[in-house]
Structure 1
Amino acid sequence: MFAASKGETIMSDIKLEGGCQCGALRYVLTAPPLMAYACHCSECRRISGSAFAVSCAALQDTMEITQGELARVEWTVESGAHRYGEFCSACGTRIRHGSVPEMGVYSVRGGTLDDQKWAEPMAHSWLASALDWFEPPKDALHYDGQPEDYGPIMERYAARMKLG
């Protein structure tokens, strides 16, 4: 079960599996993500080593590590906010990240999911920082910075994944 926008609750017995590059770490999400999005901020570009990062927001207690161990690092971003990242302790693949203190939601790196359909971004954020050559899909939601309201992204994701 997970919370959708406007106070709705969506029940689901979906279990999604994922893991790291080397196979030492495996996890199960006991509920589907709340949404998937692509972030084009300079921090996400650097962390992902790519033009943008695809993340799937999930409720805090929905990830079970079934094999291997997570390593954790914490840092402070330009705004002064504190963040954490968790990685496979064997190969260093980024698995998830979030805020410190934890706020009930974290982001799973979309590329670590076995079933990639769940990582389809419904929105692109921080487009003001996007690389010049990138053109976001016209059917995705577009944000120049951080979205103020995640409801439209969550609604679109739930409809696309047929979670409603």
Structure 2
Amino acid sequence: MSEFKLTGGCQCGAVRYVLTAPPLMAYACHCTECQRISASAFAPSCVVLQDTMQIEQGELSRFDWTVESGAHRYGEFCAACGVRIRHGSEPSQGIYSVRAGTLDDPKWATPAAHTWQSSALEWFTPPKDALLFDGQPTDYAPIVERYAKLMDLS
């Protein structure tokens, strides 16, 4: 079996990373925080285990904040160009959400679900077969399963 390697980085090239395992899932988040962070209608992300992601070049800067629920979040980005690379929670859940637009191979960014549809912009129409969630999912198993089928990982 060949070794898995998926690479990515920021816009200016200062930060480069490698994933040594496929993402667990990919989703598109429509929450107002992701809209602001991405300066877009929604933010596609891939969930990876922390120990499968290595920063090979450059340094990440960090921004911390507290969400409405009281949970602590952080985002890490290239200090030179400002591109968000990943974000996570504290205490750590052992995962990162990697911004899908930073992947060199965009096929891995195919969203298996659309979250926070309750704050999606009015003009957005989700794909007919998409898994849709009004807020944050409480069970990620259906998203992981759908992503595995989409990516032919099963």
TM range (shorter): over 0.9
Residues 6-60 of structure 1: CA deviation (Å, up to 9, x unaligned):
xxxxx98321000000011100001110000000000010000000000001111
**Which residue does 1:82 correspond to in 2?**
72
SS at match of 1:139: coil
Q: Please say if 1:112 is aligned against 2:102.
A: yes
Q: Aligned AA for 2:120? A: A
Identity %: 75
Are 2:11 and 1:18 aligned? Answer: no
Distance in 2 between the 1:123 and 1:100 partners?
24
Secondary structure of the structure 2 residue equivalent to 1:36: strand
Q: Which residue of 2 aligns with 1:129?
A: 119
Structure 1 residues 151, 12: closer, same or farther in 2, change over 3 A?
farther
Describe the SS at the equivalent of 2:82.
coil
How far has the Cα of 1:105 moved from its partner? 1.1
* Whole-Å separation in 1 of the counterparts to 2:70 and 2:95: 19
Please report the TM-score for the alignment, with normalisation by the length of structure 2: 0.96
Instruction: Report the secondary structure of 1:137's partner residue.
Output: coil
RMSD: 1.2
Q: Is the 8 A contact 1:12 1:31 kept in 2?
A: no
CA distance in 2, matches of 1:143, 1:14: 31
Distance 2:113 2:141 in 1: 11
The answer on 1:45 being equivalent to 2:35 is yes
Q: For structure 1, which runs of at least 5 residues remain unmatched after alignment?
A: 1-10
- 3-state DSSP of counterpart to 1:57: strand
**Corresponding position of 2:147:** 157
SS at structure 2 position matched to 1:13: coil
Q: 2:81 aligned with 1:96, yes or no? A: no
Contact 1:15 1:29 in 2 (8 A): yes
Q: Deviations over 1:121-144 (max 9, x none)?
A: 010010011011111111110111
Q: Contact 1:96–1:106 (CA<8 Å) still a contact in 2? A: yes
Alpha-carbon contact 1:12-1:163 (below 8 Å) kept:
no
Structure 1 segments, 4+ long, off by >3 Å, are none
Q: CA deviation at 1:73?
A: 1.3
> What letter is aligned with 1:148?
T
TM (norm. structure 1) is 0.91
The alignment of Structure 1 onto Structure 2 pairs a total of residues equal to 154
Contact 1:12 1:32 in 2 (8 A): no
